[in-house]
Structure formats: C-alpha cells, structure tokens
Amino acid sequence: MNQKTGNLTLDYLDADLAGTFKSTAGIGSADDKQVDALAAELNENGYVILESIISKEQLDTYREEIMPHLTRTGRNNFEGDKTQRVYGVPGKIYAADPMIAHPLVMAVLDRVMRPNFLLSQGQGINILPGEVAQPIHHDDAFYHWPRPRPHLGAATIWAIDAFTEDNGATVVYPGSHKWGPGAPPADAKVVKAVMPEGSCVLFLGTTWHGGGGNETDKPRLAFTAQYCEPWCRTQENYFLAVPKEMVKSRDEAMQRLLGYSVHPPFIGMVNGMHPKRCLQDD
C-alpha cells in the first residue's frame, strides 16, 4: 500500500503476501531454449504438438483406470452421440496427474499465462467408431469478451491412442487465435493433430478446433486438461469435485492447479488466509 496516497501500488498487487504457504508458480521444468521455441510456435500458430512425452507405463495406467468411468455417450452433438466422456477426472483417479502437471506443458504455459494459472477442466474422451466431427469452437468462448483478444486459457489434448488421419485426430485452425469475431471462413486452413500415443496438442483458448470424425473401427482414447488464468472462474469446481483426501495426498503442483493457491494479492483466499490451511485443519 502506498502510504501517502492510499492507492494500491503495482508492487502490492504482484506481491506474494502469504507467510506460510509460498507461491508455487513456475512449477514447469525443461530446457529453456526448447521452451522458448515451443512458446514462440504456440504464440505464432495458436497450437503446438509435443510428441511422445509420457511413458507407455503412464499411458497404460491411465487407460486401465479411466475405462470403467467411460460409460456414457454424449447428451448433445457437442459432446457427441458416439463419444464417451467423463468429467472431473482429478476427483476420480490419479493417473491423469502426469499429464495435467507435465513439466514441459507447465513450462510452456508459464511463458504464455500468468503465474499460478489453474486447471479448469480434466476430462476423459473416447471417440467411438462412426462418430462424426465435433462442431468447431474455441474454448475461451464462454468468457464473454470480444475477439480479437488475448487468450484466457489453454488446453492439451493427449493422444492415449495414436491420433491418425481417420480416427478422430483433433482438427486445429492454425493462426485462428488471432481472428476477430465470427466462425472460421470456409477456405480457412485446417490441420489434423496426427501424433503418436503419449503426445499432446497444446493450444490457446482462442484457437478454433474440434474433435475429428472417427472413420475407423476402433475407438480413439484421449485425455484433455484445460487451464485458465488464475483470476478466471474454472469450468469445473474442484473444491466440490475432488475429495479433500485426494487433494491432501497430491504434490504441491497439483494442489496449486486444483485451486489451493493464491493469485496475488488475495484471489483464492479463505477467511483472509491461504486456502492450503484448509487442508491442515482436520
């Protein structure tokens, strides 16, 4: 606080005021040059593909644990008549955590989002044979703020099965994050995020994209993690969707992403204190 004028100063707005639980912003770790290059590509094209960055063992564990939860197909054409979805994944299993808090993804997001960005949605998606293409969209659309504008979020879609030309690979419109209002023009360039299993496509919340149609006879299994700026409302309410015991047993990175963190000076506080105190009091 500026004592003379009584105005909040910028220093105060950015200060980590918490005494006990310091900020865990900057949880990513990767080679700086690699991260610079990926962030530049993301800012230029609106998306980037990170190839083969989780292990076969992690993929297998996720597949085994998510499958019992994929019991329902969609309720509308956005969710997809032949697409199984499960929401609130961090409240059901731990096996998506290596994707949600992947160090390379975190490091790239640290370059394009404010410190202490949050997880906004964690969803399992299984596109079944015969599914048609999902309506294209950009994920930030529900934050009603006119385009062109900066992104307020970003998302990963992880290929648990390899994404191919014809099994429903995510379609992405390069450069569309810079577009103004309205749907993509008919002649807009579109690419398919064809990638090996264990890879993800990372795109900005303003980038137009959609799930592809599955013309094969096998499902296309994926996991998507969406992130938002630390001052935005998250799509999923993790305080209700993730049992406290499951939060307590997670590392600091996951706790922060699930909302047990503060965007300085005080967004996220509980009774004027850091929300992590609520993990201690019982």
Site residues for ligand AKG, 114-143, by CB under 6 A, read 125, 134
Under 8 Å between Cβ of 175 and 191: no
Question: What separation in angstroms does the CA of 82 have from each of 18, 75, 225?
Answer: 47, 10, 21
Q: Which stretch binds ligand AKG (CB under 6 A): 39-47, 110-118, 205-213, 232-240?
A: 205-213
Which residue number, 25 or 155, has a Cβ lying nearer to ligand AKG?
Answer: 155
Cis peptide before 265 (omega within 30 of 0): yes
SS3 content of the chain, % helix, strand, coil (to 5): 25, 20, 55
Least distance CB 160 / ligand AKG (angstroms): 11
Which residue number, 59 or 125, has a Cβ lying nearer to ligand AKG?
Answer: 125
Least distance CB 229 / ligand AKG (angstroms): 18
Q: Which stretch binds ligand AKG (CB under 6 A): 34-42, 176-184, 206-214, 233-241?
A: 206-214
Q: Which stretch binds ligand AKG (CB under 6 A): 39-47, 89-97, 209-217, 272-280?
A: 209-217
**Of the candidate residues 66, 113, 222, 247, the single one contacting ligand AKG (CB under 6 A):** 222
Bridge partner residues of 155 (DSSP): 203, 226
Least distance CB 273 / ligand AKG (angstroms): 35
**Of the candidate residues 138, 177, 209, 250, the single one contacting ligand AKG (CB under 6 A):** 209
- Beta strands 200-204 and 153-159 are antiparallel
Under 8 Å between Cβ of 75 and 85: no
How many residues bind ligand AKG (CB under 6 A)? The answer is: 8
Instruction: Give the C-alpha separation, 217 to 240, whole Å.
Output: 37
Write a three-state SS string for 107-126. Answer: HHHHHHCCCCCEEEEEEEEE
**Of the candidate residues 54, 99, 157, 160, the single one contacting ligand AKG (CB under 6 A):** 157
Could you tell me where the beta strands, DSSP code E, fall in the chain? Answer: 47-50, 83-86, 118-127, 153-159, 171-172, 191-192, 200-204, 209-210, 220-228
By the rule CB under 6 A, 151 interacts with ligand AKG: no
Q: Which stretch binds ligand AKG (CB under 6 A): 40-48, 51-59, 204-212, 234-242?
A: 204-212
**Of the candidate residues 45, 84, 170, 207, the single one contacting ligand AKG (CB under 6 A):** 170
Q: Which stretch binds ligand AKG (CB under 6 A): 27-35, 93-101, 207-215, 230-238?
A: 207-215
Instruction: Return the residue matching tokens 């529900």.
Output: 142
35 residue type, one letter: V
For 136, phi then psi, to 5°, come to -75, 155
**Of the candidate residues 91, 129, 175, 210, the single one contacting ligand AKG (CB under 6 A):** 210
Under 8 Å between Cβ of 224 and 156: yes
Which residue number, 212 or 259, has a Cβ lying nearer to ligand AKG?
Answer: 212
Instruction: Give the C-alpha separation, 64 to 97, whole Å.
Output: 14
Q: What is the contact surface with ligand AKG in residues (CB under 6 A)?
A: 125, 134, 157, 170, 209-211, 222
